[in-house]
Amino acid sequence: MKGSYIIDGCECDFVAASDRGLNYGDGLFETMAARDGGIEFLENHLDRLRHGAASLGLPLPAMDVIRDELFRLVPGQGRAVIKLLLSAGSNGRGYQRGGCIKSRRVVSRHEWPAYPATSATRGVAVRMCRTRLAINPALAGLKTLNRLEQVLARAEWDDPQVAEGLMMDPDGRLVCGTMSNLFLLLSGSLVTPDLARCGVAGVMRNNILQCAARMGIDTRELSMTIDDLFVADEVFLSNSLITIWPVYQIDGQTLGRGQLAQTLRSELMSGPGVVALAS
Amino acid sequence: MKGSYIIDGCECDFVAASDRGLNYGDGLFETMAARDGGIEFLENHLDRLRHGAASLGLPLPAMDVIRDELFRLVPGQGRAVIKLLLSAGSNGRGYQRGGCIKSRRVVSRHEWPAYPATSATRGVAVRMCRTRLAINPALAGLKTLNRLEQVLARAEWDDPQVAEGLMMDPDGRLVCGTMSNLFLLLSGSLVTPDLARCGVAGVMRNNILQCAARMGIDTRELSMTIDDLFVADEVFLSNSLITIWPVYQIDGQTLGRGQLAQTLRSELMSGPGVVALAS
């Protein structure tokens, strides 16, 4: 299965070179896990898109139109990545958007990544990235098309034994992985970095916080540093494709191991309504 | 004259939807002024592109190829905007670039903006933007495709009497305009914000600093605040299209007026080698 694209409803894999997403990163995206004809956490992704579009002042297409286009690319069997990109369309050269913004939808399907089976069970080794995430409260939490920091951080290593890199803000606060959110079990509380200043607020992150709260676990969004990693009873990563990966090692140093990551993964993925099917 | 595009050498105005410029802002651009068959400060633009490509780890096409593609779009007579966008091409979904990056060139021609004739003579009124520029030394100075901060800042106003908005970093330091660099004449020195932490290092900014130095004027790159605007003898903006615009008013408050902006404009644009012609 190669990549397939639907752009503003039409099967086509090209966009206008004048697109403001290309020229300025003026837009948003969602990366979703498709499974056996359905999309995991679809409504959560659409909620985040709605929030991001409001924050950037982008008009949002009808959600039924988006759902329909997404499901046209979902395979009936097996797994695939479904991506939805919403740009400010072709509305003029220069930073000023044209008077009447017509946003552009790019829906695409991609092969499921070849993650090692052990990543979800034994866990992964990670590293600390040198590239920092800049502080910008206006964009914090949003999954915008301005992702050069993550690209540069990911370019820092090519050792396939290192599954992810953790990123800090300029003040040395831990924020997230290049493609994932970060969780620590600290003194019985499930703690994840506060994202009010930078970072992407993952759909899976939000679901994990809610799931843990339902299980009676104390959850907190806090400022934290590298030192917290080494005193944590357990460290794990999340995103919509990997769900949860335990972290057993960072830059060669062994971290605490536990069972919460596995328990949360089972709870999260077994609930009703995880996979949305075409209506 | 409508927009015209040459993409990797071919006349075409579409790019692959998988382009990493669109998906992650993984790339750079240059905006140049064409005049009567030539391009102003062409080699300075290519130098900045070279520096940016090295910083981002993007392979650079042969400069002769780029020059040739640019001149294919330069009109023989009159003025036009020539834009060169260099993206990391279609090298995989996800932040990690594929092993062998093939960058993509998008060269385009656009109508010369309808700037009021008085902007360069009488000057312009500007405003302070609420949107801040995040601090990221790794990207500071570069003209990358991650420009959402400028887009959001420019969306703050639509009063055509306000020509530009000035932006600060999170600590309240002045950095630049949404589309321009900022200069102050302060106690006889020509001062412009230091761009080591954020902002775009404009080609015109660099030329102005060099030109002023040749004229025997003391030039400095400093940290500065809004207060400095009101004690300055003169304030002006620069970019490759506007060259220099004096600023006579900010948020309704009148600023100092002088002759340096006009003198520098004349010096800058009358020198030999300003306009490069096709070889």
Give the residue from chain B lying closest to A132, CA to CA: B136
Judge whether A92 and A98 are in contact, CB under 8 Å: yes
B152 and A138 in contact by Cβ < 8 A? yes
CA distances from B38 to A51, A126, B12, B70, B76 (A): 46, 51, 23, 10, 8
Average pLDDT of the segment spanning B178-184: 98
Question: Which residue in the block uniquely carries the two structure tokens 């309504």?
Answer: A273
Say what angle helices B63-73 and B42-56 make with each other, to 10 degrees. Answer: 130
Whether residue B13 is predicted with pLDDT greater than 80 in this model: the reply is yes
Say what angle helices A63-73 and A42-56 make with each other, to 10 degrees. Answer: 130
B217 HSE (CA, 13 A, CB side): 20
Question: Which residue among A7, A146, A154 places its CB closest to the CB of B148?
Answer: A146
C-alpha span between B166 and B176 (Å, rounded): 6
Average pLDDT of the segment spanning B255-274: 91
Average pLDDT of the segment spanning B195-202: 97
| A20/B contact by beta carbon, under 8 A | yes
What integer pLDDT is reported at residue A198 of this predicted model?
Answer: 96
Band (pLDDT 50/70/90 cuts) for residue B99 is confident
Whether residue B2 is predicted with pLDDT greater than 60 in this model: the reply is no
Whether residue B264 is predicted with pLDDT greater than 50 in this model: the reply is yes
What integer pLDDT is reported at residue A70 of this predicted model?
Answer: 98
What integer pLDDT is reported at residue B278 of this predicted model?
Answer: 87
CB proximity under 8 Å: A 185-244 to B: 198
Band (pLDDT 50/70/90 cuts) for residue B3 is low
What integer pLDDT is reported at residue A91 of this predicted model?
Answer: 80
Reported ipTM: the value is 0.96
C-alpha span between B253 and B70 (Å, rounded): 42
Q: Tell me which residue of A130, A137, A52, A15 sits closest to B149, measured CA to CA.
A: A137
Q: Identify the helix (H) or strand (E) that includes residue A49.
A: helix A42-56
Band (pLDDT 50/70/90 cuts) for residue B188 is very high
C-alpha span between A206 and A238 (Å, rounded): 10
C-alpha span between A82 and B276 (Å, rounded): 47
Burial class (CB in 10 A: 0-12, 13-18, 19+), A104: buried
Distance from CA of A175 to the nearest CA of B (A): 15
Question: Which residue in the block uniquely carries the two structure tokens 């130095």?
Answer: B213
A131 and B149 in contact by Cβ < 8 A? no
What integer pLDDT is reported at residue A272 of this predicted model?
Answer: 74
CB proximity under 8 Å: A 119-158 to B: 131-132, 134-136, 138-139, 144-155
C-alpha span between A174 and A167 (Å, rounded): 6
Distance from CA of B8 to the nearest CA of A (A): 12
Tens digits of residue pLDDT in B66-79: 999 999 999 999 99
Band (pLDDT 50/70/90 cuts) for residue B1 is very low
Judge whether B127 and B95 are in contact, CB under 8 Å: no
Judge whether A80 and A110 are in contact, CB under 8 Å: yes
Band (pLDDT 50/70/90 cuts) for residue B254 is very high
> What's B69-83 look like in SS3?
HHHHHCCCCCEEEEE
Average pLDDT of the segment spanning B145-165: 97
Average pLDDT of the segment spanning B143-163: 97
H helix runs in B142-259, sequence order = 148-154, 203-214, 226-231
Whether residue B88 is predicted with pLDDT greater than 50 in this model: the reply is yes
H helix runs in B117-202, sequence order = 118-121, 148-154
* Pick among A95, A157, A198 to test the B interface (most B CBs inside 10 A): A95
Regions in chain A scoring below 70 on pLDDT: 1-3
Order of strands, edge to edge, in the sheet holding A275-277?
A: A10-11, A4-7, A104-111, A79-87, A27-35, A38-40, A275-277
